[in-house]
């Protein structure tokens, strides 16, 4: 194998594109369903076909790639399956906007032409995110790329629809649903976002004479559709009115006063107006009291059917007009404005949602939700971090039936056909409707097909090799924000479709990426960052490492450009350390030398490597990405670069370094493997260059060698580190420049004295005969120096006094404990022993420092 050289500096752009296409061409990402290896499967949370890679995707995908790459190296048949969601409303909106620019609506084209247009749009401008994922380094299996509107996935939709219908879990009913008057479609509960908005609360007097009653509302225009006033049955204020009627002003309709225990007597006057066709709670009251549903708003939220001057007005216009008219009649008894209250908005276009009575298709969720809850309750599916499980239960145990029909054209059309005499037929895959039947014009909620993602992408309903090999998937990695949108729905459908086998073993939830001050990123705040810009500027590895390092389970993370620059610095550090190692003959060739033949420094780094490998692997396997990143970062930078390389320089300089060259080679080789899942590009480049190997992608994951853990060497090196730090501090205090060589020598026990030349090299000391003018004492170790007379006594005194104060404080803390009877009686022996040792050490320090101070004069 021929070894290449490393460029003098690291430029991510020079290696990323080259390595990525090499990986794809070599087929490293492609999973094999016939492999005997144990499977590891992740399906990507499918981004919208309209989407671009934002920082949240970058986080989500970094974590998934990290797990996939690690498992691949650990010998699993790893499949990370990519794809996209057709994103019904979002995509339709995009194409409609294009048409609008030409002065057209989708109706001008007609359904078939419009859908064709959407497909054309997808071919031309959709799926930009896929190319951007490549920039991040995602090791997804492109040969299995899926799209929710693909033929196979559409077949899955038909199949599950029929299956659910036959099990009586899908039904059609007239209900109050959330309606977006702009998108002109029904929405599910979770497609509605609530915010506290400014509105008004007006109190209106209904009836006259002895039968007056006051009701309050934030939507005055709905009074046009009122069919009752409701009060609490035990409310004595109104008991005389129950069963009587009152007149609705303006339209002069006589409506009954009904008693309903759901009315809160403490809110407002205790009496509420009831508009069953335009409010979900009122609809329920209407059912209980057989009230009429009078529809007074059309699909565009314009007033209709009132045979009044309000007909044709927009809802807001009507609201004002109704209040004005009532005021003119003297029927407004109170007005509160602004009145802050929760208002629902369309999650796609932010239009205020209008509750609307209409006929829609629903999934009956109760039995499905029970199974989905139980799967987590009994541990077949684990939610990480566990703290987020209550949220899941809270929602899934109280889930309303799911409205799945959408009045759109882009999506899976509802496979129900209606006959001329009201017949209803559900048409499964490969079936066709009887002649003369007409298909339901609506399409399914996008999340209906997304709910099938973990198995529709593997070929279900066909029993494919992929399905057999890779289902159920191993881990689902996603943000907690779509726990309800998507994760819960996959649980509902997965368990149902796959005979009770849940779609994944573990749900790993991460948080949101926020700005550097922890504020939510939003266009209006102007604090949105573009991951691609960071990749351009600092490299994909730097961005990935930053995101992984911030990923504490289930917690949001702040992100600043400075942090990404810091990760780039880490990458540069690795690059330079490798260059240095290669310059000094580090190698992976041949067997690792016998431990007993190594010096303490070599044994120490192997020990640290073993410990780090074990800890890091464990943390990654338990989805502790932040802690894992921290551990490996400090091993690489502190242990390896700051100490091992520095302590080894003397050996390299002296030319007697065969063991160290091999040990260093080993440590780098293992470090690159460990870091590869998080920083795939630079590790691949360094490793292949350094070792001459083919690729890290399929290299074996490091094992932690317990036999390499060596506490004795760790203790020796800890002493060397202390001596070096203290002497450096002394030099610094004394104003000796870092590069200035001065005479010095160590008086130390044999295990430390053995490394005198290594320490001297680092400290720029010239060992040899001289008359010392100063000394630094570190416990039992003494370093004598010659400062050529000019010792800065004041600086030395300051330092010693500071050390003395610290030692005295430590001693006092220890003595308080040791003099405490309770502590001595109840604290565990190991703790008492530790405090005793601390007492002894600090006492010795105080004695030594006091003597030094006395000698200073």
Interaction of residue 424 with RNA, rule CB under 7 A: no
In the complex, the smallest distance separating the C-beta of residue 207 from RNA, rounded to whole angstroms, is 29
- Comparing CB distances to RNA, the nearer of 49 and 675 is 675
Give the list of residues 6+ apart from residue 796 with CB closer than 8 angstroms, or none.
730, 733, 734, 774, 856
In the complex, what is the shortest distance from the CB of residue 375 to RNA, in angstroms, rounded to a whole number?
A: 20
Rounded to the nearest whole angstrom, what is the least distance from the CB of residue 626 to RNA in the complex?
7
Q: How far apart are CA 426 and CA 172, in angstroms?
A: 12
**172 DSSP β-pair partners:** 361
CB atoms within 10 A of CB 693: 16
Radius of gyration over every alpha carbon of the chain, rounded to an integer in angstroms: 36
User: Which secondary-structure segment (H or E) carries 15?
Assistant: helix 12-26
CB of 59 closer than 8 Å to CB of 82: no
Q: Are 708 and 607 in contact (CB under 8 A)?
A: yes
- Tell me which residues in 624-653 interact with RNA (CB under 7 A): 626-627, 630, 637, 641-642, 645-646, 649, 652-653
Helix (H, G, I), strand (E, B) or coil at 632: helix
CB 172, CB 425: distance < 8 Å: no
3-state secondary structure 419-483: CCCCCEEECCCCCCCCCCCEECCCEECHHHHHCCHHHHCCCCCCCCHHHHHHCCEEEEEEEHHHH
Nearer to RNA, 295 or 343 (CB): 343
Q: How far is the CB of 781 from RNA (least distance, A)?
A: 16
Contact flags string 192-211 toward RNA, x per CB under 7 A: -xx-x---------------
Closest to RNA by CB, 157 or 559: 559
- Applying the rule CB under 7 A, the residues between 444 and 483 that interact with RNA are 481
Q: Which residue stretch of 49-57, 105-113, 209-217, 733-741 sits at the interface with RNA (rule: CB under 7 A)?
A: 733-741
Three-state SS sequence of 479-502: EHHHHHHHHHHHHHHHHHHCCCCC
Would you say 28 or 580 has its CB closer to RNA?
580
Site for RNA in 742-801 (CB under 7 A): 764
Q: Which of 52, 462, 516, 698 binds RNA (CB under 7 A)?
A: 516
How many residues touch RNA (CB under 7 A)? 74
Measured CA to CA, the distance from residue 3 to residue 446 in angstroms comes to 52
- Note whether 157 and 447 are within 8 A (CB): no
Binding of RNA by 317 (CB under 7 A): no
* Beta carbon of residue 725, minimum distance to RNA (angstroms, whole number): 4
> Of 600 and 682, which has the nearer Cβ to RNA?
682
Q: Decide: is 520 part of the binding site for RNA (CB under 7 A).
A: yes
390 binds RNA (CB under 7 A): yes
Tokens of 532: 């691609």
Asked if residue 718 binds RNA (CB under 7 A), the reply is: no
Q: What sign results for the dihedral spanned by CA atoms 633, 634, 637, 640?
A: negative
Beta carbon nearer to RNA, 34 or 739: 739
606 DSSP β-pair partners: none
Nearest approach, Cβ of residue 19 and RNA (Å) = 19
The stretch near RNA (CB under 7 A) out of 19-27, 489-497, 598-606, 831-839 is: 831-839
Interface of this chain with RNA, residues 495 to 514, rule: CB under 7 A:
514
Tell me which stretch binds RNA (CB under 7 A): 191-199, 230-238, 402-410, 674-682.
191-199
Q: Does residue number 729 form part of the binding site for RNA (CB under 7 A)?
A: yes
Residues in the chain: 857
For residue 395, state whether it binds RNA (rule: CB under 7 A): yes
Of 475, 485, 391, nearest to 446 (Cα)?
A: 485
- CA dist 185 and 191 (Å) reads 11
Smallest gap from residue 533 Cβ to RNA (A): 16
715 forms part of the interface with RNA (CB under 7 A): no
The residue range among 16-24, 33-41, 737-745, 746-754 that interacts with RNA, by the rule CB under 7 A, is 737-745
Nearer Cβ to RNA (314/646): 646
Backbone torsions φ then ψ of 370, nearest 5 degrees: -60, -50
Q: Which of residues 563-582 bind RNA (CB under 7 A)?
A: 563, 565-566, 568-569, 571-573, 576-577, 579-580
Which of 518, 590, 692, 749: binder of RNA (CB under 7 A)?
A: 518
For the record, the structure tokens of 382 come out as: 């684990």
Distances (CA, A) of 812 to 465, 734, 803, 805: 71, 30, 14, 11
Contact set for RNA, span 336-355 (CB under 7 A) = 342
The interface region with RNA, picked from 109-117, 216-224, 293-301, 821-829 by CB under 7 A, is 821-829
Which residue is it, tokens 């529709």? 456
**Segment interacting with RNA (CB under 7 A) among 25-33, 161-169, 190-198, 267-275:** 190-198
Piece of the chain touching RNA by CB under 7 A; list 185-193, 373-381, 457-465, 656-664:
185-193
According to CB under 7 A, which one of 125, 208, 462, 820 is a site residue for RNA? 820
Q: Could you tell me how many helices (H) and strands (E) the chain has, helices first?
A: 29, 29
Binding of RNA by 523 (CB under 7 A): no
Please state the closest distance from residue 369 (CB atom) to RNA, in A: 14
Tokens of 807: 């030692």
> Given candidates 432, 462, 694, 732, which one binds RNA under the rule CB under 7 A?
732
d(CA 369, CA 363): 11
β-pairing, 382-384 vs 504-510, is parallel
Does position 728 interact with RNA (CB under 7 A)? The reply is yes
Member of 283, 410, 484, 672 binding RNA (CB under 7 A): 484
* Euclidean distance between the first and the last CA atom of the chain, given in angstroms as a whole number: 66
> What's the half-sphere exposure (Cβ side, CA atoms, 13 Å) at 698?
11
Within residues 583-602, the interface with RNA by CB under 7 A covers 583
Near RNA by CB under 7 A: residue from 517, 700, 769, 855: 517
| 40 versus 485: smaller Cβ distance to RNA | 485
Q: Which of 523, 711, 737, 857 binds RNA (CB under 7 A)?
A: 737
From 74-82, 292-300, 440-448, 810-818, span contacting RNA (CB under 7 A): 810-818
Among 22, 37, 163, 391, binds RNA (CB under 7 A): 391
Nearest distance from residue 640's CB to RNA, in Å? Answer: 8
Residue 310 or 575 having the CB closest to RNA: 575
Secondary structure string (H, E, C) spanning 806-849: HHHHHHHHHHHHHCCHHHHHHCCHHHHHHHHHHHHHHHHHHHHH
Distance CA 762, CA 652 (A): 13
C-alpha to C-alpha distance for 656 and 647, rounded to whole angstroms: 14
> Other CB atoms closer than 10 Å to residue 348's CB: what's the count?
19
- The interface with RNA within residues 240-299 (CB under 7 A) comprises none
Nearer to RNA, 496 or 652 (CB): 652
Provide the minimum distance between the beta carbon of 479 and RNA in the complex, in angstroms, as a whole number. 11
Q: Which residues pair with 228 in a beta bridge?
A: 274
Helix (H) or strand (E) holding 570: helix 561-583
- Which candidate, 10, 22, 31, places its Cα nearest to that of 467? 31
Q: Is 827 in the site for RNA (CB under 7 A)?
A: yes
In the complex, the smallest distance separating the C-beta of residue 235 from RNA, rounded to whole angstroms, is 20
Longest dimension (CA), the chain: 117
> What sign does the dihedral 293-299-300-305 (CA atoms) show?
negative
The phi and psi torsions of 155 (rounded to 5 degrees) equal: -60, -40
Tell which one of 2, 594, 828, 857 touches RNA (CB under 7 A). 828
Stretch that binds RNA, among 180-188, 315-323, 387-395, 782-790 (CB under 7 A): 387-395
Task: Round to whole Å and give the CA distance between 369 and 492.
Answer: 6
526-565: which residues touch RNA (CB under 7 A)? 552, 555-558, 562-563, 565
Shortest Å, Cβ 160 to RNA: 25
């Amino acid at each position: 194998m021929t070894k290449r050289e490393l460029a003098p500096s690291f430029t991510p752009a020079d290696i990323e594109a080259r390595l990525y296409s090499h990986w794809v061409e070599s087929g490293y990402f492609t999973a094999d369903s016939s492999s005997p290896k144990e499977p590891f499967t992740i399906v990507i949370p499918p981004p919208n076909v309209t989407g671009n890679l934002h920082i949240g995707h970058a986080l989500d995908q970094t974590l998934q790639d990290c797990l996939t790459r690690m498992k691949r190296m650990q010998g699993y048949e790893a499949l990370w399956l990519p794809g996209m969601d057709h994103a019904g409303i979002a995509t339709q909106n995009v194409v409609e906007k294009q048409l609008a620019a030409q002065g057209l609506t989708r109706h001008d084209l007609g359904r078939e032409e419009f859908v064709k247009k959407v497909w054309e749009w997808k071919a031309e401008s959709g799926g930009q995110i896929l190319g951007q994922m490549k920039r991040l380094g995602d090791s997804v299996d492109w040969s299995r790329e899926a799209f929710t509107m693909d033929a196979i996935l559409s077949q899955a939709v038909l199949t599950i629809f029929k299956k659910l219908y036959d099990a009586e879990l899908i039904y059609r009913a007239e209900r109050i649903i959330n309606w977006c008057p702009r998108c002109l479609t029904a929405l599910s509960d979770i497609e509605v976002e609530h915010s506290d908005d400014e509105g008004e609360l007006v109190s209106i007097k209904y009836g006259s004479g002895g039968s007056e009653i006051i009701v309050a509302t934030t939507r005055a225009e709905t009074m046009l559709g009122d069919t009752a006033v409701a009060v609490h049955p035990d409310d004595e204020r109104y008991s005389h009115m129950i069963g009587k009627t009152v007149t609705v002003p303006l339209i002069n309709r006589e409506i009954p006063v009904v008693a309903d225990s759901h009315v809160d007597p403490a809110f407002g006057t205790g009496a509420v107006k009831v508009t069953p066709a335009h409010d979900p709670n009122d609809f329920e009251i209407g059912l209980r009291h057989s009230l009429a549903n009078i529809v007074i708003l059309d699909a565009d939220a314009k007033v209709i059917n009132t045979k009044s001057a309000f007909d044709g007005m927009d809802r807001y216009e009507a609201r004002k007009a109704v209040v004005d008219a009532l005021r003119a009649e003297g029927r407004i008894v109170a007005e509160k404005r602004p009145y802050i209250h929760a208002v629902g908005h369309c999650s796609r276009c932010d239009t205020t949602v209008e509750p609307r009575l209409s006929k829609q298709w629903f999934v009956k969720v109760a039995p499905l939700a029970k199974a989905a809850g139980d799967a987590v309750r009994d541990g077949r599916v684990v939610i990480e971090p566990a703290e987020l499980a209550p949220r899941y239960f809270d929602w899934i145990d109280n889930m309303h039936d799911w409205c799945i029909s959408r009045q759109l054209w882009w999506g899976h059309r509802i496979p129900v056909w209606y006959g001329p005499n009201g017949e209803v037929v559900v048409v499964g895959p490969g079936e066709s409707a009887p002649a003369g039947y007409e298909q339901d014009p609506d399409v399914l909620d996008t999340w209906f097909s997304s709910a099938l993602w973990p198995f529709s992408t593997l070929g279900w309903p066909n029993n494919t090799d992929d399905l057999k090999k890779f289902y159920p998937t191993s881990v689902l990695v996603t943000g907690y924000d779509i726990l309800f949108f998507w994760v819960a729905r996959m649980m509902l459908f997965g368990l149902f479709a796959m005979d009770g086998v849940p779609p994944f073993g573990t749900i790993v939830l991460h948080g949101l990426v926020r700005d550097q001050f922890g504020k939510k990123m939003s266009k209006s705040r102007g604090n949105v960052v573009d991951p691609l810009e960071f990749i351009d500027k600092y490299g994909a590895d730097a961005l990935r490492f930053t995101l992984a390092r911030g990923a504490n389970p289930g917690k949001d993370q702040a992100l600043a450009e400075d942090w990404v620059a810091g990760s780039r610095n880490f990458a540069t550090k690795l690059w330079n350390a490798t260059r240095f190692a290669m310059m000094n003959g580090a190698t992976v060739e041949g067997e690792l030398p016998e431990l007993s033949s190594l010096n303490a420094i070599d044994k120490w780094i192997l020990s640290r490597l073993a410990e780090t490998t074990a800890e890091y692997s464990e943390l990654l396997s338990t989805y502790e990405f932040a802690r894992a990143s921290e551990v490996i970062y400090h091993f690489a930078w502190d242990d390896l670069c700051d100490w091992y390389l520095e302590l080894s320089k003397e050996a390299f300089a002296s030319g007697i370094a065969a063991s160290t060259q091999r040990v260093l080679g080993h440590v780098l080789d293992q470090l690159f493997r460990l870091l590869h899942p998080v920083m795939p590009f630079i590790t691949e480049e360094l490793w292949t260059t350094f070792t001459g190997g083919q690729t890290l992608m399929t290299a074996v994951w490091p094992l932690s060698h317990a036999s390499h853990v060596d506490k004795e060497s760790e203790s020796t090196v800890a002493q060397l580190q202390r001596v070096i730090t203290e002497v450096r501090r002394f030099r610094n205090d004394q104003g000796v420049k870092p590069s200035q060589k001065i005479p010095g020598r160590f008086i130390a026990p044999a295990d430390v004295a053995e490394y005198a030349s290594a320490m001297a090299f680092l400290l720029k000391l010239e060992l040899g005969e001289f008359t010392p003018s100063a000394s630094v004492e570190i416990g039992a170790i003494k370093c004598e120096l010659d400062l050529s007379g000019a010792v800065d006594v004041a600086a030395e005194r300051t330092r010693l006094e500071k050390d003395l104060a610290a030692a005295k404080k430590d001693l006092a803390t220890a003595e308080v404990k040791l003099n405490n009877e309770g502590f001595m009686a109840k604290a565990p022996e190991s703790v008492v022993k530790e405090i005793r040792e601390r007492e002894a050490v600090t006492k010795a320090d105080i004695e030594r420092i006091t003597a030094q101070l006395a000698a200073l004069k």
